[in-house]
Each structure stands twice: as structure tokens, then as C-alpha cells.
Amino acid sequence: MIGENFIKIYENSFRENWKLPAFSDYSKGTTVTFEDVAREIARLHLIFNECQVKEGDKIALVGKDCSNWCIVYLATVTYGAIIVPILQDFNPNDIHHIINHSDASFLFVSERIWDSLEEEKMTHIRGVFSLTDFRCLHQGESEWIQKLLEELDSKMEERYPGGFTRNDIRYAELDNDQVVLLNYTSGTTGFSKGVMLTGNNLAGNITYARTLDVIFRGERMLSFLPLAHAYSCAFNFLVPTAFGAHVYFLGKTPSPKILLKAFEDVKPHLIITVPLILEKIYKKMILPMLNKRSMKLALNIPLLDNRIYGQIRKRLTDSMGGCFREVIVGGAAMNQEVTDFLYKIKFPFTIGYGMTECAPLISYDHNYEFIPASCGQILKKIMEVRIDSDDPYTIVGEIQVRGENVMKGYYKNPEATGNAFTEDGWLRTGDIGTIDREKRIYIRGRNKTLILSSNGQNIYPEEIESKLNNLPFVMESLVLEKDNRLIGLVYPDYDAVDSTGISHEDLSAIMEQNRQELNKLLAPYERMAQIQLYPTEFEKTPKKSIKRYLYNNY
């Protein structure tokens, strides 16, 4: 077990960074300092204490990412309770289910979401608070929360007669092996699993991040991925807050236009993103340049190509604020064409690998060590990796890991916990791939999505989709097996279609041309029999990867 105590990390950070800005709500233009956050945490601790919240009680949190979201999270874990963050995109029934399954006794919620919930369906809830201003939205029959809130200012004065100071910060004495977080991987009754993460799991990620020198005290970050997801929570919130950095919460849907404006305003020193964001910026900003006839000719002239690539790199870097050391990509596989191009122009990006069950980090390389097609080296001295195959370097098998970041198990689900681990204690990731001699991980796909051809060949649909997505007028795609044939569902890039004046009626013929071009790039057993147009964007997870299981019977 690593030495640094998770709760003490924040106790020390608030004292050391007292006057520095901690969180800003970008869309509102408001900022709170570490002092402000610590004072709000003290107020919430008073509420918890008066309501007789005990160590290990669960407090649920659902709403739009904002400063108050982070304050509730920190107040809960530093009190000694267990935080249950819930993705605001889940439907009301899923939110009811998670609140009940987790045994949450209190709920902090945005009012828009609260209006869609039914208090009678949440059996354990004693009180509900607004994420906007922490006022009470609902209390149980025998509760007196409303009265408590009316008296809170006087109780704070009574508790801290000289005003709340950094010397008043005293958080729970909690062993690092105790659970502090329940992170649900899905909302639905049949699929939801509450991942039990300990202080040690989270401290493992923070301690490792401290060795990377990618973000420092007083620097800026822009958070635009959902905080209820383990990846964003760890690296857009927990890590920078531990280091004394300043996080801006976008508070809007991160379209390329909105995001590029925010990058320009915030000028972040580190960018945490998912592949879809970079892929959209590449399609909207870089591809139109590369497709110009004059640019194609210039790139064929020796020596000139490096200058042009340097100019593209500078333009892309400047568009993202111009101050960042690195862009870290995670959450899903990135399109290979985009990866190769960014690597060719020496753009400072890297692709990591993780999962909720590892809080979440498993592997990472600095951008100057990154090798295309890989997702970094296993975290040294924190995690171990092995491949379930006869030759882990050449023969694909399930990627299995163990170490400091691995969860304790699934809450109230011993069967799922047992299935998640091998008999000798390694976590089954469900991903398949290989490693190299430096323990760098190369993912080929998911165990569940692997297709076995009629002649026994392994087909990885994600690899075919990566190639298909690079063909004209393809926004996104999904490769499925149907009647022993491979078919591709394609949602077209209608903006590109409309901008070129092509009729929508011609799309089927264009996709047939795409199919023929794609098949030239594939092995015979991977070739596509048909491409079908799909009418809408595919439904996605919070990490922006397609929910493949919804389309298995298409």
C-alpha cells in the first residue's frame, strides 16, 4: 500500500493553497478560492454532523459539473462518508435504482433533474439538497433539515468564533483501505455495478500523477468531460485540486466551436480529453486544409513538408490556448488516421488506458515516449500487467492487471466481483491485446466485440471502423456480423454532404464506393458485404464510445 493518505492530501492542499483560485464556473464567470471551498466544506460538515451522518454512510450526487459538485464530493469524503456520483445523463428510473442500490441517505441534485425524480421511489433518502445553493428541496417526515439550515450561520459562528481559518481544517481520520467512492458503471438494473474504490485506489492515481510533471500549483485546466465518470473525476478534479491548480468547468456541451473559444479564454496548461473531441477538431479544422490541391502538391516537395507540418502544429496548438504541455487522450480508442497525423506533425499528445475499476489509470506514456497504436506503459511500481496468451508479445489475449489502483469489488454483488478476478487475483479488463518488452500495452478490441470468422480468424470490428470512419462523408460507423457476413452501419457526415452540394439520394452509391475502397485495405476474411445508412447518431456512453450492445440485433 502506498504511503500518502487520500484524506490528508486534501487537508494539506487546502492549507497550502488557501488564497489561490480553486474552481471557476466558466459559463457564469464565477471563481472560488481554496479558502472558499474549505469554508463551504466546513458548513456541509456541520450539516452532516447535525443530521447524524455516520462514517461510511452514502451520499449521492447528480447534476451538471460545477464548483458545487466538487465541493459536495470533497465534503463527503473528508467527513468519512462515501460519495456516489451519478451521471446526469441517466434517465430518472436509473437514477432511482442507483440511489436505492447504493443505500444513499442524502442526495445533492440539480433542480432540473430533481423535477424529473419521484421522492417516494427513493426509499432510503432522508434529505435532498439543491446543487445550486445547498438549500433543502425535500426532507423525510422526522427530519428537521429546513430548520437546521436557517440556523447554520449562527452555528458556524458558534463553532468558529474567530472565523473559519486554515488552522481549523480537521478532516476524518480514515484508513486508506476504506471505501470512499461508489462509481456506477451503468444505470440500468441488469447492468449497474457499483465499483467500490478506496482512498488508496484514488491516492494511487494522484501520487503517480505527481511524478509526471504535467500540471503544477497555480496552473489552469479546463474540464469539459463529465465529472461523474472516473477518468474526468480523477484528472480534471482530484489531481489538480491536490496540486493547487485552478480548474475551469465548461458547463456547456463541448462542441468544437464552444471548446475552441474556451481554450482561447482559459489557456489551459494540461488538456484531458476523449478521442471524439480531437477527431472532430481534426475533421473540422485540419482535413479541409489538407484536402486543398495546393497543400497536397506542397506536401510532396521534400523539406517543405516539415515546414508545413510545423505550421499546422502551431495553428492547432494556438487554437487550443497555446500554453499546454500535453494533451492526454483516454476513455476509448482513437481513430488511427488522426493518431498517425498528430504523431507525424509532432503534436504533444499521448493516449492512456484505464477503467473505472482502476480509479481509473492503468497505463500511460509522456507524449515524447508515446508510440502510435499503444496506450502507454503500465504504471511503474503501482500496477502490473499480463496477457492471457501463450506469447504476450505476439499472440493476443485478455489484458489482466493488479496493483494499487484496482478496486475492492462491486457493491452488494459478490458474483460479479468473483467473475471480475482470476483465481490468482488479477483483474480481468475485458480488453484483448498484447504488450511489448517495456510493458507497453497494445489494445486490439474488447472480448465481447470480437468476431470469429467462418474459417476461425479473429476479426476486430473497432479496427475496421477506424478505417471506415476515414472515408468520405462518414461521420461514424459500427461493424456487425449478420448471417455470417460483415455489414457496416454508417451515420453520414451531413454537414460535409451539404457543403459539397451532393444530394442525400446519392449517399447509398457513395457508400458502395466506400465499401469497395475499404475492402482493398482489409484482409479477405475482414471484407464488408454491405454498408447500410443509419438515420441518427449512435447512442454513446459518457466516454463517447458507442453503446454497441444496443445494435446487436439490428
pLDDT in tens, 512-521: 999 999 999 8
CATH of the domain at 528: 3.30.300.30
Average pLDDT, the chain: 92
Q: Does the pLDDT at position 437 exceed 60?
A: yes
The three-state secondary structure class of 489 is: strand
Residue closest to 339 by CA, chosen among 484, 442, 186, 221? 442
The reply to whether 297 and 341 lie within a common domain is yes
Q: For residue 499, is it within any domain? A: yes
Q: What is the pTM of this model?
A: 0.86
Lowest mean pLDDT among 129-138, 293-302, 356-365: 293-302
- The share of the chain scoring above pLDDT 90, in percent, equals 77
The reply to whether 409 and 270 lie within a common domain is yes
Domain end marker among 395, 426, 445: 445
CB atoms near residue 212 (< 10 Å): 14
- Domain count of the chain? 3
> pLDDT band at residue 284, thresholds of 50, 70 and 90?
confident
From residue 65, give the alpha-carbon distance in Å to each of 14, 61, 358, 459. Answer: 21, 11, 22, 39
Whole-angstrom Cα distance, residue 307 to residue 289?
A: 15
The reply to whether 268 and 375 lie within a common domain is yes
Domain end marker among 400, 425, 445: 445
Lowest mean pLDDT among 269-273, 305-309, 540-544: 540-544
The reply to whether 503 and 545 lie within a common domain is yes
CATH of the domain at 183: 3.40.50.980
- Burial status of residue 517 (CB atoms within 10 A of its CB: 0-12, 13-18, 19 or more): middle
The predicted pLDDT at position 1 comes to 46
Query: What are 91-134's pLDDT values in tens digits?
Result: 898 899 999 999 999 999 999 999 999 999 998 899 999 999 99
Sign, Cα dihedral of 64, 68, 70, 76: negative
> Which range marks the domain in which residue 178 is found?
6-214
Q: Does the pLDDT at position 434 exceed 80?
A: yes
The three-state secondary structure class of 429 is: strand
The reply to whether 185 and 271 lie within a common domain is no
Q: What is the mean pLDDT of residues 349-372?
A: 96
The reply to whether 441 and 456 lie within a common domain is no
The predicted pLDDT at position 342 comes to 96
Whole-angstrom Cα distance, residue 242 to residue 390?
A: 42
Whole-angstrom Cα distance, residue 22 to residue 370?
A: 31
Q: For residue 227, is it within any domain? A: no
The reply to whether 49 and 197 lie within a common domain is yes
Domain end marker among 191, 214, 237: 214
